[in-house]
Structure 1
């Protein structure tokens, strides 16, 4: 019994090997060489405005094999059909096209003029539909990272208090990770001396504004580093430019003070004139209206009676009282 134990071990191992071999033959029968379904993900980094080639990494087993190859993201970008020895491209957007290399027997999709919003995962899917049912022969994924370099500028600005400040702007970069620091006479400044403003642009890129309070004119520089740059970039502000900008700010302040003073003097003069006129109007004597005394009706009213007979002139008449009753007089 002890001698038979090793034999049983070898028999079990041999049976397992036969089972694995059988499974391997079944897989090779179902998926011949060149038709294996393999999901892989590669990464490509592309600068904004450039193109990228996405390979499907599938080689037909023979020239007469028929299948459909598609490039997809959230929706279908492009597709092509192989019928025997010919290709037919259809349903491709403007910035995407299908490339077939007869020499290397490679299928590739080219996506041009990439923008930041084009960042994402692209899938190349090869499907055989004839004979039915439809079978996926290959699916490969490529993550495309679109990057954009920052545009850096350094200038002098005026703060709300009127004092000059230095401003370093890095705009239009992607992704968002960016380092921006100030250098004074070759030494990096403490970040607490500056303050920054970050914002997102309509095209999904980013912009950073960094302000620095300056009390002197020495060699200042703005140091910027980003993943889209091969090395950090440094933008300088010379002392001569600093003095020139400060002189401009002083001239502007002098003009502002002069204009403000003139406006205040003019306002005071106008208020003085208005107050003086108001004071004089109050000291004038008021106009008095004397009412005419009441007089007798007979002395104020005079009737003229004109005779229309011949050339007689008008004859003035006085009112004539006609007594109709002892207590009433009628004036005629």
Structure 2
């Protein structure tokens, strides 16, 4: 009698375990960091042991982005954004979404869910949340320019980076002379006039940021001085350093002076021709 009771209890426990397995919802969370323009794969974990004749898989981020139905071993697309495609591996029944050409505004939390439609009742088999963070590393350029006051300056431009926080500094002959931290606050050496450096920041149409750091060269000496622009950003494995020589600015200054001189000469010549033409016309009259 006792053995029959134990056997019945064991069978009951197996049935309860089976029901619990059937109703188990796979719920996981993951995070991805992806560079601008690259591709990310969002996996959709779900209970593959559940019986399912027809099921639906969809991807959401605040609103529905992509939805597919699976029935009779084939997929039917309900709706889907252009940069999203479904990946299905029939041997393992693994399903995922691939997002291509990711942009800054694709950053967010995505939810991939799998729902059994038949046999009834409708049941959620899996619900996975994926945090996607799109970043962009800066492209750094240095050049000699002429400031608004006519004084020669060197420009360090960091373009197309995200997030906005960036560190940027000028180094002269291996020594930091000015440093711009992530809060856009300057730190100078005691020998540097604060009016000799300034910056401009902007947001680009694609959501990335740009920063231009100017260092005014109040005097150009014949001795060669090496200036380095140092840039650090969270998207970089190590800071970027780009060098420029003061002689490049001296040579460009000579070119600017020559251009100005030629422009003045041409303008003066044109003025003389006009005056002579007017004088001749007055004599003829």
Structure-1-length-normalised TM-score: 0.65
Which structure exhibits the higher relative contact order, with contacts defined as CA atoms closer than 8 Å and separated by 6 or more residues? 2
Q: Where does structure 1 lack aligned partners over 5 or more consecutive residues?
A: 1-21, 270-332
Which has the higher mean CA deviation after the structures are superposed, 59-68 or 231-240? 59-68
Which residue number in structure 2 is paired with residue 69 of structure 1?
57
3-state DSSP of counterpart to 2:251: helix
Q: CA deviation at 1:75?
A: 2.1
Distance of 1:52 and 1:86 partners within structure 2:
24
3-state DSSP of counterpart to 1:248: helix
Q: When the two structures are aligned, how many residues end up with a matched partner?
A: 243
Q: How does 1:214-293 map onto structure 2 within 5 Å?
A: 214=217, 215-216=219-220, 217-255=224-262, 262=268
3-state DSSP of counterpart to 2:225: coil
Q: Which has the higher strand share?
A: 2
2:204 to 201, 204, 222: 201
Q: Where does structure 2 lack aligned partners over 5 or more consecutive residues?
A: 1-11, 180-187, 189-193, 276-285
Which has the higher mean CA deviation after the structures are superposed, 114-123 or 189-198? 189-198
3-state DSSP of counterpart to 1:91: strand
3-state DSSP of counterpart to 1:129: strand
3-state DSSP of counterpart to 1:32: helix
3-state DSSP of counterpart to 2:21: coil
Q: CA deviation at 1:115?
A: 0.9
Instruction: Judge conservation of contact 2:54–2:71 (CA < 8 Å) in 1.
Output: yes
The structure with the larger Rg is 1
Distance of 2:20 and 2:104 partners within structure 1:
38
Which residue number in structure 1 is paired with residue 21 of structure 2?
32
Instruction: Judge conservation of contact 2:199–2:213 (CA < 8 Å) in 1.
Output: yes
Instruction: Judge conservation of contact 1:164–1:249 (CA < 8 Å) in 2.
Output: no
Structure-2-length-normalised TM-score: 0.75
Mapped pair 1:109 → 2:97: yes
Alignment deviations for residues 247-297 of structure 1 (CA, whole Å, 9 cap, x no partner): 12332454566678x59x98xx9xxxxxxxxxxxxxxxxxxxxxxxxxxxx
